[in-house]
């Protein structure tokens, strides 16, 4: 890896197959940005523990996400691709940073509020301190830029606040990271309920690994409105606007261009075109994924190499932090 390039860190939870939202909000941008940055892409398995999971399923989802990263085109020889749990400095730094994060600021996190409402039987402290672990992921690597979807903006802010707070007390220790939130795909909404973001648990999500026929059916069933004209108006036409967003994020055309393209079209033709661009975009990824997923040895060798490289980098920042705060080093 060249040293003069800026550093990217980003991650995704292995909690079921990623959706089109994950793809357009994050993965597609990672793929584009890998050429210009030194990148670390992590399967953030420790974050997935905040919700109770079957061990077997977690293992499978982690392996599957690793395969998907590579199927997407993330190059393991150019980037560091690893499981978060294989680099112990993430949890070590997280404990330290917990002592610099305030209960008040964690309490304000929208995702915490949403998740505690959804999993009211299991509001564990991991769910609460989740953003601190995320801050540790980012700050350990002196990250310049974090490509994420809109829903992670608040978590990025807290990572920045913790870095600034720590630097103010102990002197320059952490790089203060910037977020990169793309335009069109930053918030992909559900197809049945376009007022809510598309999420893995929603039954109206398109999964990256969905069969082309399933994708087309889901798009055809997407909720629209009775206006019968295609144009962008998120408040009054959330369903159509969401699909214009998806079309724009995949094709790279602006929303205006997309609206013009479908100006005279009916909803049926528009949906067909949206379904087709999604299918064409995902087909090569699915093909590559199917080749990779059975090759566990290969996937494990990439993860091992990634963990070793990540540990080397993480150790430097972690050591620096220990020194600054007065922990004895032998
Ligand atoms: P996670 O696993 O929920 O989602 C992974 C990425 O997908 C984006 N995303 C979306 N983008 C657009 N539209 C949607 N409907 C949509 N749903 C999800 C998310 O914004 C995210 O970029 N806390 C993080 C994982 C994480 C992380 C990190 C990310 C842990 N440590 C350090 C960056 C840096 C999360 O739960 O993402």
Q: Write the pLDDT tens digit of every residue in 208-222.
A: 999 999 999 999 999
Ligand 1 neighbours (beta carbon < 6 A): 9-13, 21-22, 24-26, 44, 47, 134, 137-138, 146, 148-149, 151-152, 155, 185-188, 197-198
Residues forming CATH 1.10.240.10 domain(s) in the chain: 212-290
- In this structure, of 43-47, 193-197, 202-206, the range with the lowest mean pLDDT score is 202-206
Looking at the chain, the domain(s) classified CATH 3.40.50.620 span 7-185+296-325
Provide the b/e sequence for 147-157 (b: ≥16 CB within 10 Å).
Answer: bbbbbbeebbe
For 298-319, the pLDDT digits (tens) are 999 999 999 999 999 999 999 9
Ligand 1 pocket: which of 46, 151, 248 to mutate (most atoms within 8 A of CB): 151
Q: What local confidence, expressed as pLDDT, does residue 119 receive?
A: 87
Q: Is the pLDDT of residue 148 over 80?
A: yes
Per-residue pLDDT tens for 279-297?
999 999 999 999 999 999 9
Could you tell me the pLDDT band of residue 185, with boundaries at 50, 70 and 90? confident
Ligand 1 centroid distance, CA of 65 (Å): 13
Q: What is the pTM of this model?
A: 0.96
261 alpha carbon to ligand 1 midpoint, in Å?
31
The correct answer on CATH 1.20.1530.20 for the domain covering 212-290 is no
| 183 — pLDDT class (breaks 50, 70, 90) | confident
> What are the structure tokens assigned to 120, written together?
């009211």
Q: Does CATH number 3.40.50.620 belong to domain 7-185+296-325?
A: yes
Which residues are marked as active site? 115, 197, 200
Cα 48 to ligand 1 centroid, rounded to whole Å: 12
User: What is the mean predicted confidence (pLDDT) over 95-107?
Assistant: 97
> Among residues of the chain, what percentage have pLDDT more than 70?
98
Tell me the CA end-to-end span of the chain in Å, nearest whole number: 30
């Amino acid at each position: 890896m060249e040293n003069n390039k800026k550093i990217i860190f980003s991650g995704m939870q292995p909690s079921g197959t990623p959706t089109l939202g994950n793809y357009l909000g994050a993965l597609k941008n990672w793929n584009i940005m890998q050429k210009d940055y030194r990148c670390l892409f992590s399967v953030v398995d420790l974050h997935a523990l905040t919700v109770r999971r079957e061990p077997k399923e977690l293992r499978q989802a982690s392996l599957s996400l690793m395969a998907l990263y590579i199927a997407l085109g993330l190059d393991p020889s150019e980037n560091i691709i690893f499981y978060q749990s294989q680099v112990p400095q993430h949890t070590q730094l997280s404990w330290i940073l917990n002592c610099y994060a305030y209960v008040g600021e964690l309490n304000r996190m929208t995702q915490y509020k949403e998740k505690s409402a959804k999993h009211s039987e299991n509001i564990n402290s991991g769910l609460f301190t989740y953003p601190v672990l995320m801050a540790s992921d980012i700050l350990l690597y002196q990250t310049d830029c974090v490509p994420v979807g809109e829903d992670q903006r608040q978590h990025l802010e807290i990572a920045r606040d913790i870095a600034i707070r720590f630097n103010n007390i102990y002197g320059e220790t952490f790089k203060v990271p910037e977020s990169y939130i793309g335009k069109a795909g930053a918030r992909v909404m559900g197809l049945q309920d376009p007022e809510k973001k598309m999420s893995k648990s929603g039954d109206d999500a398109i999964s990256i690994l969905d069969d082309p026929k399933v994708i087309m059916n889901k798009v055809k069933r997407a909720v629209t409105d009775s206006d019968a004209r295609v144009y962008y108006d998120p408040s009054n036409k959330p369903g159509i606007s969401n699909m214009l967003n998806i079309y724009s994020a995949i094709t790279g055309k602006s929303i205006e261009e997309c609206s013009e393209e479908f100006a005279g079209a009916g909803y049926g033709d528009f949906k067909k075109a949206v379904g087709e661009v999604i299918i064409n975009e995902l087909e090569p990824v699915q093909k590559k994924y199917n080749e990779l997923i059975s090759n566990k040895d290969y996937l494990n060798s990439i993860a091992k190499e990634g963990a070793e490289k990540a540990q080397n980098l993480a150790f430097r920042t972690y050591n620096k932090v220990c020194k600054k705060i007065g922990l004895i080093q032998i």
